[in-house]
């Protein structure tokens, strides 16, 4: 196979025996297992990976991991595509398809590139100032297309995501030297330890820093530690796992990825880790240097260049100039030179870098101390860099002592920013450390420690000892008592840094602060000139530090520049708030298994398969999968529902009422308790009888309705609406436990323990008498609104003479497991009688024509019992009940309250639309006096019927009104809501 | 996400619980002796302090018992939990 010119002949932790073919922007390339997409593209000589957000300037790779601001790609196609990934974090896989974003047709040749000519016209706040007339929404679609990132998947994600809960003693985040040392100490001490790292391999920077630990190559040490941790029964090692959020009470959220391989059982996994102690060994991120044209492809973080050369055996350039304000920047020169990358010069912005420069000069490097970069030559790739002594640069437009250095790679090292994101999310306080030119962790929340470079300890020696000590301390705090042994050690290093927030302004050239959002130093200057003082405001005005990289390489520079501009010390400027996620997380991971049918699993009644067999059309009613109606051969939906209604009025019908709430209330004080819960009296209910009742909130508003059955002196069965069972039962518990603990009452929700079949119709008794039962069905012995416990077909049953249709009806409760057999027997025996199952649709029409209200449909969040005609029942009751005092307010007694009435369209064929308003002034179509709540065609009455809530409606029966909806008016009359069988003769049959 | 120590079941995650508001809230009565303002006070007016607050929670997806939680509304720290049958814990700022 042909070796790419940019790939080193040997070395690197890539598997040269496993070549992988992939595509970027439609072109085919080859890389190796162990590559990232970024390293593979660099190895193939691809330098332009994206276009900048606003101005579409060509952009290359700056970093090597999550800090990358430029190389944003879209992976895959169709339903499984993932937008806005950083190429530096994408593991190369066979047949990987990647595309650049925010450009068309490709990053190489982008038609929007002309936008960069308008750069001077697009300063900070450009959108706010420009697109405000007539309205932002007028411009939004175009702007979004020109300045955007990836695209959403085309359909529902077919992949599987999981979530797991984990409890541990010590969670160590980050498996660099500090994290490995911490995990080692905690595990050896005997603590249950979880170590999580977002990279595919452990070791962090040890993968490319070529250092020694305990006097042997660092990677050997990493391998040993990994082996020990993986073998330990009290440790769990998670790679490819990003800790992205710290939440209250030591909850840390992790996102585990399973790579881009095709055969994966799950794609990503969300971990909820509850850790007693957390050690944050999250490392530090190198900063970009701010100087003119520092965004040209070929300008790269020194640590990234080193990472590519050592770990991936990729030459990011042939001739490099290293620009640094730190000692650690020099290390890159030492790694690059032996790999065939010529070091043209080391440019140190410090006047006197001291020993580190002397040593570099001894090693043969050309060191230019006290120089600053003033421009970069080249637009699509670096060709050269101009540097100048700092004193000259301070004189604007001076070309004195200008030095041009030919190169194709500029390595920059602007110091290190500890990754304190998680620490800060956990409410840890940050402290500005002037010596390190960075915010470091200050006083922390209980149980949180930062270790290693996350704590500002940038040398390996301190990372190891600091990490080990943190792990030991954390384990001890959880009670672990074993001996952790001694800490690994490494040689001392120099890590001095002098802050260099930006090269002095020299000419008109743009110096880029935030590459991802195209924010320049001039934008920050504008924000300061316009008197934006709070760093939070500056962030939002200029967009610095936003989007997928969240300013990991740029925030600190922005703060330093702001500090200079506003003459305010950095600690007083402070940082913007760190919020989760640390790194973007897919929605699939956050949703985990809670999607599709598992999002909110529908509850099924014991008759679910019977309904299916009978051709039911199911719908979701209050979380239950219920039969809306039953299909019949060759009949339309309307015809089916009409036939069901005819069966109920003319013969006999069966309805599955199993979801009806059933709460058993027992105890010596059961009657007293229920008397307080219902607004009408329940104390006076005789044993064996049933009463319709209404429950209120303390605001007096109707909460629920249903029948209450008294089975014994101290035993009631409360029936609630299907959607109200859980709510009402929870309310019972709250009142009993919190307000009236003296009442000797036990309430139990038995909704799912009992099935419920309602037999309704003039032939209901006839059907029931075809079954064997010891209950006397004679109307004199078993009148309307009574309940009998007995046996039906030799099965214990509770039979009540109640219903929701207005016909002679029996509601039968049997144990859930017997319900299906009973249903089938009733259908079989009832066939000669014309029995028919009816669904919710038919039932709704039957109850509407009977004038039975449905709570939540015919009542709203203001309806009081007096508004629906319960005034008399209330007046008879002397005791207190929930909501009673609220009914005494003046508001509750206003005569013009919305009250339940019937609404009769003058044209008996007009079905008044639900939601249509009763208008006070039909000519102007103004002034709502109420609205239609239920409406249907009544099969029994041969005309349409409707219910509604109308101002003062109960005293307006007979009045003519106009109903208005969507530009149409209908004449109608207010009538009694009892349309069908107002005397209740059929009910009492 | 809070971790609440149920006095009956031990430490459990917040999604198992439901919040029930500040305590104590005394229900005034009998209704005919309660003024409109006293009733409104009971229904709507709460201290809502910045700092320590006593509130009641129910372990809805557990033992279904109501309990008292002493929680800091600034730091979300939970200092104590107690059964309803125990004396109400004191709160001092």
Tokens of A102: 């925010």
Chain B residues within 8 A of A251 when measuring between CB atoms: 1, 3
Residue in A248, A734, A888 nearest the CB of B66: A734
Q: Report the distance separating Cα A488 and Cα A177, nearest Å.
A: 10
Q: What ipTM goes with this model?
A: 0.98
Q: Report the distance separating Cα A788 and Cα A779, nearest Å.
A: 12
Of A846, A529, A883, give the one whose Cα is nearest residue A731: A883
Q: Report the distance separating Cα A272 and Cα A335, nearest Å.
A: 40
Tokens of A842: 């038919």
**CB–CB contact B2 A249 (8 Å):** yes
Residue in A249, A738, A888 nearest the CB of B66: A738
Chain B residues within 8 A of A699 when measuring between CB atoms: 43
Q: Report the distance separating Cα A854 and Cα A694, nearest Å.
A: 12
Pairing label, strands A367-369, A371-377: unpaired
- For B56, nearest residue in chain A (alpha carbons): A738
Tokens of A597: 């049918």
For residue A982, CA distances in Å to A650, A705, A796, A960 come to 17, 20, 35, 21
Phi then psi dihedrals of residue B48, to 5 deg: 45, 60
**CB–CB contact A249 B3 (8 Å):** yes
Q: Which residues contact A788 (CB under 8 A, 6 or more apart)?
A: A688, A775, A776, A782, A798, A799, A800
Of A550, A525, A548, give the one whose Cα is nearest residue A538: A525
**CB–CB contact A889 B36 (8 Å):** yes
Of A60, A767, A121, give the one whose Cα is nearest residue A378: A60
Contact between A162 and A270 (Cβ < 8 Å):
yes
CA distance A693 to chain B (A): 21
For residue A382, CA distances in Å to A221, A294, A402, A619, A922 come to 38, 10, 18, 64, 76
Q: Where are the beta strands (DSSP E) in A671-724?
A: 690-696, 702-712, 715-720
Contact between B56 and B66 (Cβ < 8 Å):
yes
CA distance B66 to chain A (A): 7
Chain B residues within 8 A of A885 when measuring between CB atoms: 28-29, 31, 34, 39
The confidence score (pLDDT) of residue A261 equals 57
Q: Report the distance separating Cα A158 and Cα A719, nearest Å.
A: 42
Chain A residues within 8 A of B19 when measuring between CB atoms: none
Domain boundaries, chain B: 3-83
The answer, for A738 touching chain B at a CB cutoff of 8 Å, is yes
Tokens of A20: 């992988």
Q: What is the number of residues in chain B?
A: 93
**CB–CB contact A884 B31 (8 Å):** yes
Q: What is the DSSP letter of A371?
A: E
End-to-end CA distance of chain B: 23
Chain A residues within 8 A of B20 when measuring between CB atoms: 734, 738
**CB–CB contact B1 A248 (8 Å):** yes
Chain B residue set in contact with A, beta carbons under 8 Å: 1-3, 13, 18, 20, 27-32, 34, 36, 39, 43, 56, 58, 60, 64-66, 75-76, 78, 84-85
Tokens of A947: 């219910």
The answer, for A742 touching chain B at a CB cutoff of 8 Å, is no
**CB–CB contact A248 B2 (8 Å):** yes
Q: Report the distance separating Cα B75 and Cα A27, nearest Å.
A: 53
* Arithmetic mean of pLDDT, A488-509: 89
Q: Which residues contact A427 (CB under 8 A, 6 or more apart)?
A: A445, B75
| Sheet strand arrangement including A624-630 | A603-604, A624-630, A616-621
Chain B residues within 8 A of A889 when measuring between CB atoms: 36, 39
Question: For A304-361, what is each residue's pLDDT tens digit?
Answer: 999 999 999 999 999 999 999 999 999 999 999 999 999 999 999 999 999 999 999 9
**CB–CB contact A884 B58 (8 Å):** no
Question: For A530-550, what is each residue's pLDDT tens digit?
Answer: 999 899 999 999 999 988 888
The confidence score (pLDDT) of residue B91 equals 85
Band (pLDDT 50/70/90 cuts) for residue A1 is: very low
The answer, for A698 touching chain B at a CB cutoff of 8 Å, is yes
The answer, for A737 touching chain B at a CB cutoff of 8 Å, is yes
Using the predicted structure, report yes or no on whether residue A3 has a pLDDT greater than 80: no
Chain A residues within 8 A of B61 when measuring between CB atoms: none
The 10 Å Cβ neighbour count of residue A162 is: 16
**CB–CB contact B3 A885 (8 Å):** no
Q: Report the distance separating Cα B84 and Cα B86, nearest Å.
A: 5
Tokens of A322: 């290293």
Helix ranges (DSSP H) in A574-722: 587-591, 608-613, 637-650, 670-677
Q: Which of A97-111, A164-178, A573-587 has the lowest mean pLDDT?
A: A97-111
Using the predicted structure, report yes or no on whether residue A709 has a pLDDT greater than 70: yes
Using the predicted structure, report yes or no on whether residue A481 has a pLDDT greater than 80: yes
Cis amide leading into A556 (omega within 30) = no
Q: Chain A interface, mutation test: which of B26, B27, B77, most A Cβ atoms within 10 Å?
A: B27
Per the listing, tokens 């937008």 go with A83
Domain B3-83 grouped into CATH 3.30.2270.10 = yes
Question: For A729-770, what is each residue's pLDDT tens digit?
Answer: 999 999 999 999 999 999 999 999 999 999 999 999 999 999
Chain A residues within 8 A of B2 when measuring between CB atoms: 248-249
Using the predicted structure, report yes or no on whether residue A694 has a pLDDT greater than 90: yes
Q: Chain A interface, mutation test: which of B31, B40, B59, B67, most A Cβ atoms within 10 Å?
A: B31
Chain A residues within 8 A of B18 when measuring between CB atoms: 730
* Arithmetic mean of pLDDT, A123-129: 72
Three-class HEC string of A568-611: CCHHHHCCCCCCCCCCCCCHHHHHCCCCHHHCCCCEECCCHHHH
Tokens of A925: 């179509």
**CB–CB contact A738 B20 (8 Å):** yes
**CB–CB contact B1 A886 (8 Å):** no
Contact between A824 and A807 (Cβ < 8 Å):
no
Hey, which residues 397-436 in chain A have their CB within 8 Å of chain B? 427
Q: Report the distance separating Cα A761 and Cα A766, nearest Å.
A: 10
CA distance B90 to chain A (A): 18
Q: Which residues of A929-945 are buried (b: 16+ CB within 10 A; e: fewer)?
A: bbbbbbbbbbbbeeebb
Q: Where are the beta strands (DSSP E) in A281-341?
A: 284-286, 299-301, 319-324
Enter the pTM of the model.
0.91
* Arithmetic mean of pLDDT, A813-841: 98
The answer, for A247 touching chain B at a CB cutoff of 8 Å, is yes
Q: Which residues of A378-408 are buried (b: 16+ CB within 10 A; e: fewer)?
A: beebbebbbbbbbebbeeeebeeeeeebebb
**CB–CB contact B76 A251 (8 Å):** no
The confidence score (pLDDT) of residue A939 equals 92
Q: Report the distance separating Cα A386 and Cα A230, nearest Å.
A: 51
Q: Report the distance separating Cα A960 and Cα A905, nearest Å.
A: 10
CA angle B24, B28, B31 (to 5 degrees): 160
Q: Report the distance separating Cα A459 and Cα A646, nearest Å.
A: 86
**CB–CB contact A741 B29 (8 Å):** no
- For A881, nearest residue in chain B (alpha carbons): B31
CA distance A587 to chain B (A): 19
Q: Which of A222-236, A431-445, A807-821 has the lowest mean pLDDT?
A: A431-445
* Arithmetic mean of pLDDT, A791-807: 97
CA angle A254, A257, A259 (to 5 degrees): 165
Residue in A248, A274, A698 nearest the CB of B76: A248
CA distance B56 to chain A (A): 9
Chain B residues within 8 A of A738 when measuring between CB atoms: 20, 56, 66, 84
Q: Rounded mean pLDDT of chain A? A: 94
CA distance B59 to chain A (A): 11
Q: Cβ-count burial of A215 within 10 angstroms (0-12 exposed, 13-18 middle, 19+ buried)?
A: exposed
Contact between A94 and A33 (Cβ < 8 Å):
no
**CB–CB contact B1 A249 (8 Å):** yes
Q: Which of A130-144, A465-479, B45-59 has the lowest mean pLDDT?
A: A130-144
Q: Where are the beta strands (DSSP E) in A463-563?
A: 512-514, 519-520
Q: Report the distance separating Cα A427 and Cα A422, nearest Å.
A: 9
Tokens of A205: 């920077």
């Amino acid at each position: 196979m042909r070796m790419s010119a940019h790939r080193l002949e040997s070395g690197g932790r890539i598997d040269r025996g496993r070549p992988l073919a992939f595509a970027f922007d439609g072109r085919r390339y080859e890389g190796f297992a162990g590559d990232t997409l970024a390293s593979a593209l660099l190895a193939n000589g691809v330098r332009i990976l994206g276009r900048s957000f606003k101005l579409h300037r060509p952009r290359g790779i700056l970093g090597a991991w999550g800090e990358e601001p430029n190389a944003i790609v879209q992976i895959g196609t169709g339903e499984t595509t993932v937008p806005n990934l950083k190429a530096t974090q994408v593991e190369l896989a066979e047949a990987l398809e990647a595309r650049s974003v925010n450009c068309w047709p490709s990053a190489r040749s982008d038609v929007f590139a002309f936008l960069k000519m308008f750069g001077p016209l697009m300063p900070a706040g450009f959108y706010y100032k420009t697109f405000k007339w007539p309205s932002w929404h007028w411009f939004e679609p175009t702007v979004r297309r020109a300045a955007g990132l990836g695209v959403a998947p085309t359909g529902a994600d077919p992949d599987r995501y999981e979530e797991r809960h984990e409890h541990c003693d010590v969670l160590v985040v980050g498996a660099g030297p500090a994290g490995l040392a911490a995990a080692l100490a905690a595990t050896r001490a005997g603590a249950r330890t979880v170590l999580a790292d977002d990279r595919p391999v452990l070791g962090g920077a040890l993968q490319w820093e070529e250092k020694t630990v305990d006097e042997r190559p660092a990677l050997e040490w990493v391998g040993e530690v990994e082996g020990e941790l993986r073998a330990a029964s009290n440790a769990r090692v998670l790679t490819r796992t990003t800790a992205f959020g710290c939440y209250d009470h030591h909850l840390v959220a992790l996102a585990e990825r399973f790579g881009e391989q095709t055969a994966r059982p799950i794609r990503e996994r969300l971990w909820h880790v509850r850790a007693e102690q957390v050690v944050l060994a999250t490392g530090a991120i190198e900063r970009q240097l701010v100087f003119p044209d520092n965004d040209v492809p070929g300008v790269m973080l020194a640590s990234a260049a080193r990472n590519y050369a050592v770990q991936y055996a990729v030459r990011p350039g042939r001739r490099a100039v290293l620009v640094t304000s730190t000692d650690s920047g020099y290390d890159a020169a030492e790694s690059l030179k032996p790999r065939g990358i010529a070091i043209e010069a080391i440019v140190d912005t410090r006047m006197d870098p001291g020993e580190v420069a002397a040593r570099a000069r001894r090693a043969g490097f050309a060191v230019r101390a006290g120089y600053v970069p003033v421009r970069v030559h080249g637009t699509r790739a670096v060709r050269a860099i101009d540097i100048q002594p700092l004193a000259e640069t301070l004189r604007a437009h001076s070309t004195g002592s200008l030095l041009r250095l030919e190169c194709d790679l500029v390595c920059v090292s602007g110091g290190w920013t500890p990754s304190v994101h998680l620490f800060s999310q956990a409410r840890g306080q940050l402290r500005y450390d002037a010596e390190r030119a960075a915010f470091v962790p200050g006083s922390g929340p209980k149980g949180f420690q930062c270790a290693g470079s996350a704590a500002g300890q940038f040398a390996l020696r301190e990372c190891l000892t600091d990490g080990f000590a943190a792990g030991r301390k954390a384990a001890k705090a959880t009670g672990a008592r074993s001996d952790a042994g001694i800490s690994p050690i490494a040689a001392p290093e120099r890590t001095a840094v002098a802050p260099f927030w930006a090269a002095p302004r020299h000419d008109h050239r743009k110096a880029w602060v935030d590459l991802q959002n195209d924010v320049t130093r001039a934008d920050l200057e504008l924000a300061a000139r316009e008197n934006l003082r709070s760093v939070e405001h500056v962030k939002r005005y200029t967009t610095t530090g936003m989007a997928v990289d969240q300013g990991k390489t740029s925030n600190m520079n922005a703060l330093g520049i702001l500090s200079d501009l506003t003459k305010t010390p950095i600690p007083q400027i402070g940082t913007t708030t760190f919020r989760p996620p640390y790194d973007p997380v897919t929605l699939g991971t956050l949703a985990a298994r809670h999607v599709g049918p598992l999002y909110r699993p529908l509850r099924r009644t014991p008759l679910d398969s019977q309904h299916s067999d009978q051709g039911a059309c199911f719908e979701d009613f209050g979380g239950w999968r219920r039969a809306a109606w039953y299909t019949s051969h060759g009949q339309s939906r309307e015809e089916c529902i009409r036939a069901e209604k005819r069966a109920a009025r003319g013969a006999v019908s069966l309805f599955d009422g199993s979801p009806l709430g059933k709460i058993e209330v027992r105890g010596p004080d059961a009657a007293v308790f229920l008397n307080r819960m219902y607004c009408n009296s329940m104390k006076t209910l005789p044993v064996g009888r049933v009463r319709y009742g209404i429950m209120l909130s303390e605001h007096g508003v109707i909460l629920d309705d249903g029948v209450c059955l008294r089975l014994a002196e101290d035993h009631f069965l409360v029936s609630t609406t299907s959607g109200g069972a859980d709510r009402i039962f929870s309310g019972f518990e709250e009142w009993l436990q919190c307000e009236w603990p003296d009442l000797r009452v036990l309430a139990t929700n038995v909704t799912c323990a009992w099935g419920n079949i309602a037999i309704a119709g003039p032939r209901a008794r006839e059907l029931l008498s075809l079954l064997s039962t010891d209950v006397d069905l004679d109307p004199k012995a078993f009148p309307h609104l009574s309940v009998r416990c007995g046996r039906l077909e030799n099965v214990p049953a509770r039979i009540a003479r109640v219903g929701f249709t207005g016909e002679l009806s029996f509601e039968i409760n049997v144990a859930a497991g017997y319900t299906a057999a009973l249903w089938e027997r009733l259908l079989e025996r009832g066939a000669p009688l014309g029995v028919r199952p009816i669904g919710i649709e038919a039932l709704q029409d039957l109850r509407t024509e009977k004038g039975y209200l449905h709570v939540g449909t015919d009542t709203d969040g203001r309806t009081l019992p007096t508004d629906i005609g319960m005034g008399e029942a209330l007046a008879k009751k002397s005791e207190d009940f929930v909501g009673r005092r609220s009914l005494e307010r003046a508001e509750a007694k206003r005569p013009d309250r919305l009250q339940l009435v019937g609404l009769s369209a003058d044209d008996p064929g007009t079905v008044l639309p639900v939601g249509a308003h009763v208008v006070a002034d039909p000519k102007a179509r103004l002034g709502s006096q109420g609205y239609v709540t239920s409406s249907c065609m009544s099969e029994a009455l041969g005309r349409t019927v409707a219910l509604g809530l109308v101002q003062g409606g109960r005293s307006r029966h007979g009045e003519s009104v106009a109903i208005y909806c969507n530009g149409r008016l209908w004449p109608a009359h207010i009538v009694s809501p009892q349309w069908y069988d107002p005397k209740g003769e059929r009910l009492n049959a | 996400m809070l971790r609440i120590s149920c006095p009956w079941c031990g430490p459990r995650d917040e999604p198992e619980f439901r919040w029930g508001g500040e305590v104590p809230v005394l229900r005034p009565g009998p209704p005919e002796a309660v003024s409109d303002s006293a009733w409104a006070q009971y229904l709507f007016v709460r201290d809502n302090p910045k700092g320590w607050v006593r509130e009641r929670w129910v372990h809805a997806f557990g033992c279904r018992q109501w309990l008292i939680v002493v929680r800091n509304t600034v730091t979300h720290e939970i200092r104590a939990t107690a059964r309803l049958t125990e004396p109400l814990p004191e709160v001092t700022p």
